Amino acid sequence: MSGMDESLRPEKSRITIFNEPINCQFCSNDVFTPYEVIVNVEQPGIGVRHVRYVAICQYCGKAKHFGDPSYYDVEKDNYIWALNQSLLSIKKYKIKIIFFVGKRKQEKVTIFLNSLIQNFKAEVENIKDYKGEVLLQIKFSNSNDKQAVRSMIMGCARRLKINVKEITIK
Ligand SMILES: [Zn+2]
């Protein structure tokens, strides 16, 4: 992977610093939208780039701060670019989840539904409740792959102690 000599674009992406992927320290996901931040630097040294970024984790919304440690290698007479960004394409997903919440747990269903709507900007296509077994169909667009989407939904369910019987992602 080669580095790049331009600023990171404020788009959903995975970012590496010297080929090391950056991860969120709160949820360990690796998809961020980076924004360049302006810092006041008095008399910056020649050949030193004072670029700073704040990258927003696209899963939990926490911010990660980092600089651009690119440097000029005198011996190789070459600039060593530190940052690399791979932009993610947005995919459309249709999801079917069957889960149990037991009796009198309507508020759990509501919380689960709200967190899916909030996290994924999901659109609810169908929801049916058969005495505690709920069938939920949602759709949304997301830049993560199927596996990541699945584990995000499962994590969401786990936190709410929702027992997922089946999950289909298309
Ligand atoms: Zn995060």
50 and 106 together in one domain: no
Q: Global pTM? A: 0.53
Contacts of 71 (CB under 8 A, 6+ apart): 79, 80, 82
Distance between Cα 103 and ligand 1 center (Å): 33
77 and 131 together in one domain: no
What are the residue ranges in the chain where pLDDT is below 50? Answer: 1-2
Work out how many domains the chain is built from and give that number: 2
Distance between Cα 25 and ligand 1 center (Å): 7
Among 53, 87, 121, identify where a domain stops.
Answer: 87
Residues of the domain holding 46: 13-87
76 and 118 together in one domain: no
Distance between Cα 113 and ligand 1 center (Å): 20
Distance between Cα 163 and ligand 1 center (Å): 24
Radius of gyration of the CA atoms of the chain, in A: 21
How long a stretch of residues is the chain?
A: 170
pLDDT of residue 169: 96
Q: Is residue 29 part of a domain?
A: yes
Distance between Cα 34 and ligand 1 center (Å): 13
Distance between Cα 153 and ligand 1 center (Å): 14
pLDDT of residue 119: 87
